[in-house]
Structures are given as structure tokens and as C-alpha cells.
């Protein structure tokens, strides 16, 4: 089986978020769940994708962390289609159907830029109770006064707590209690916390294209921090839309990974859904291939 390591959401090598990608033959069966978890654990990346072609324009993909299977992963999808283009199974300026545990999603490639659908956004809950807010702040190593907008649990494929802090300095100073955060994530039934600060220099007459700076923490899945998180920034796009900071059909840029010395740029766009009910969110970016070879499974 072909094997790749791809830096997704990266303008250059050693940036973005590295994903393992295993490409199965069309007639191959997926390895057992136990084997795929072991491969992900051996590689030690936050996610490893296993993907196979079903037909000319349709692929099936599964995603594994070192601890468990997850329904959807943005950076591993971007990395997978970069690998598929490299080996000739996908073509530039083409749209594909992707079978995931989150449902059938569309992936489009245009001039080497990969964009993927998110699942339909879901608002699951918000955290307003003072005791719960204090608990969240303590787990993240900040003060309640550092929190800006109301934290909400949102999913566009995977559920996360959207945690807005008031400044980039506060964001970069976050030092979670990872054991407590894993327990908190289990209690809330989320993957983790997606913390962000709005960029004060973003806007029509401002100098910086990024709408927000982000950090993502998911110790429940053995990911203390992640350098680029497509699904979480998809959820953040919806959160910001609901809070009046994102408009339909506008291009949004999120910067992540600075705290890990792996700068990442994630782009999103929110549009009216095809059935005119609700909205559809796409997330995308570029990639760099670091390793290509064979894996003996």
C-alpha cells in the first residue's frame, strides 16, 4: 500500500499539520480497526487517513488518531487528496465525492487548492453557568475575565468547545491541565477545546487577512495540541457567523500552529445550503508532501 506524510494547510514544508495517508488498492479491504489504530499510534501524528477509490470520482476514507477512530478530519482530508493527486488517482480542477462516517461530502481541487465540505453545523449547547465557566477557565489555565463571547459546543463533523479569549496574548499564554481537560471533554462529549482570539487588524481597511488566531487542544484523543484543525475551524466559522463576525460568501482565514512553530493557514467559506435551509461550510488549504513510500500491512 502507498504511504505518504503530508503537511496540510501549509505553504511550506514543516508547517501546517502533518497527517499520515495510506492509499489502499480499489480491491483491497480496509485493515482491521485495531491495525489502523496501531498504525496511527506508531506514526504518532494526530490523525492518519486510510483511503480507497470506489469509482472514478468517488472515494471512501476513514480517520484514526493514536487512540480511536474519528468521524471526520480536515487536515487529513487535505493531505489525502494531495497524495491522491501525486499518485495519479485524483486530478486538479476536479470535484470528488467522499464517503465518511459524517456522511457524503464534496471535495474540490482547483489549481492545487483543496476545499472540502463540512457536515451540517450543529449548535449543541452553550456554557453560561458561572460555576461551569470558572471550571473551564481553570482547566485552560486562564481567568473567567479572560473569556470574551459565550463558549459554545458546535460541530461541523466533530464537536468542540469554541472558547473565545479577549487577546492574542491570553491565547498564547494558555497552558491547559491536560488530564483535567480530557475529563472535561469526556463530560461534555466533545473532542476538545478550540480556543481563539479575534484579530483586531482584520477588516476592510485593515492590514491582516486573518480573522482569528487559534489553538486546538484534544488530550482525550491523545492530542495535547494540534497545529491545524479543519473541522474545528469549520465550527468556528459557524460560531462567528452566529455571533455576527462572518458573512455569507466571504473568504475567512484562520491562523493556527504559531505556538507550535508550525504556522498554518486554514481558509473557510460559509454559503447558503443547496436546499435553501441552513448554511453549508467549506474548509480548505494547500499542502506539501514530505514522505512517499510503501507501508507493509
Domain boundaries, the chain: 2-117+286-294, 122-283
What is the predicted pLDDT for the residue at 209? 85
Q: What is the predicted pLDDT for the residue at 204?
A: 67
Cell 465557566 sits on residue: 133
pLDDT tens, N- to C-terminus, the chain (297 residues): 999 999 999 999 999 999 999 999 999 999 999 999 999 999 999 999 999 999 999 999 999 999 999 999 999 999 999 999 999 999 999 999 999 999 999 999 999 999 999 999 999 999 999 999 999 999 999 999 999 999 999 999 999 999 999 999 999 999 999 999 999 999 999 999 999 999 998 876 655 689 999 999 999 999 999 999 999 999 999 999 999 999 999 999 999 999 999 999 999 999 998 776 789 999 999 999 999 999 998
Pairing of β 94-100 and β 103-110: antiparallel
Rounded to whole angstroms, the maximal C-alpha distance in the chain is: 56
Look at the domain 2-117+286-294 and name its fold.
Answer: Diaminopimelate Epimerase; Chain A, domain 1 (3.10.310)
pLDDT for residue 216 = 98
Residue 281's nearest CA partner among 241, 227, 221, 223 is 241
Please report which helix (H) or strand (E) contains residue 198, including its range. Answer: strand 192-198
Alpha-carbon separation of residue 135 from 145, 172, 223 (angstroms): 13, 20, 21
The CATH number assigned to the domain with range 122-283 reads 3.10.310.10
Is residue 268 within 8 A of residue 229, CB to CB? The reply is: no
pLDDT of residue 205: 60
pTM higher than 0.75 for the full model? yes
> 10 Å Cβ neighbour count for 250?
13
Question: 160 near 192, Cβ under 8 Å?
Answer: yes
Amino acid at each position: 500500500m502507498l504511504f505518504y506524510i503530508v503537511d496540510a494547510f501549509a505553504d511550506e514544508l514543516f508547517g501546517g499539520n502533518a497527517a499520515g495517508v495510506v492509499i489502499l488498492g480499489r480491491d483491497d479491504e480496509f485493515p482491521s480497526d485495531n491495525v489502523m489504530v496501531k498504525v496511527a499510534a506508531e506514526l504518532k501524528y494526530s490523525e492518519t487517513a486510510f483511503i480507497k477509490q470506489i469509482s472514478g470520482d468517488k472515494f471512501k476514507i476513514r480517520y484514526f488518531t493514536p487512540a480511536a477512530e474519528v468521524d471526520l478530519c480536515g487536515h487529513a482530508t487535505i493531505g489525502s487528496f494531495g497524495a491522491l493527486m501525486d499518485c495519479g488517482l485524483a486530478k486538479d480542477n476536479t470535484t470528488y465525492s467522499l464517503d465518511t462516517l459524517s456522511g457524503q461530502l464534496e471535495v474540490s481541487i482547483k489549481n492545487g487548492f483543496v476545499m472540502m465540505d463540512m457536515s451540517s453545523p450543529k449548535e449543541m449547547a452553550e456554557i453560561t453557568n458561572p460555576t461551569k465557566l470558572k471550571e473551564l477557565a481553570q482547566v485552560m489555565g486562564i481567568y473567567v475575565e479572560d473569556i470574551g463571547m459565550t463558549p459554545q459546543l458546535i460541530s461541523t463533523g466533530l464537536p468542540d468547545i469554541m472558547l473565545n479569549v479577549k487577546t492574542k496574548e491570553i491565547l498564547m499564554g494558555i497552558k491547559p491541565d491536560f488530564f483535567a481537560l480530557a475529563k472535561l471533554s469526556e463530560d461534555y462529549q466533545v473532542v476538545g477545546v478550540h480556543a481563539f482570539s479575534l484579530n483586531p487588524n482584520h477588516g476592510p481597511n485593515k492590514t491582516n487577512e486573518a480573522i482569528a488566531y487559534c489553538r486546538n487542544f484534544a488530550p482525550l484523543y491523545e492530542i495535547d495540541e494540534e497545529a491545524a484543525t479543519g473541522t474545528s475551524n469549520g465550527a468556528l466559522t459557524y460560531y462567528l457567523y452566529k455571533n455576527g463576525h462572518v458573512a455569507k460568501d466571504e473568504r475567512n482565514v484562520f491562523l493556527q500552529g504559531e505556538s507550535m512553530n508550525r504556522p498554518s493557514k486554514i481558509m473557510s467559506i460559509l454559503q447558503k445550503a443547496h436546499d435553501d435551509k441552513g448554511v453549508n461550510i467549506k474548509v480548505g488549504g494547500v499542502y506539501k508532501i514530505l514522505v512517499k513510500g510503501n507501508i507493509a500491512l
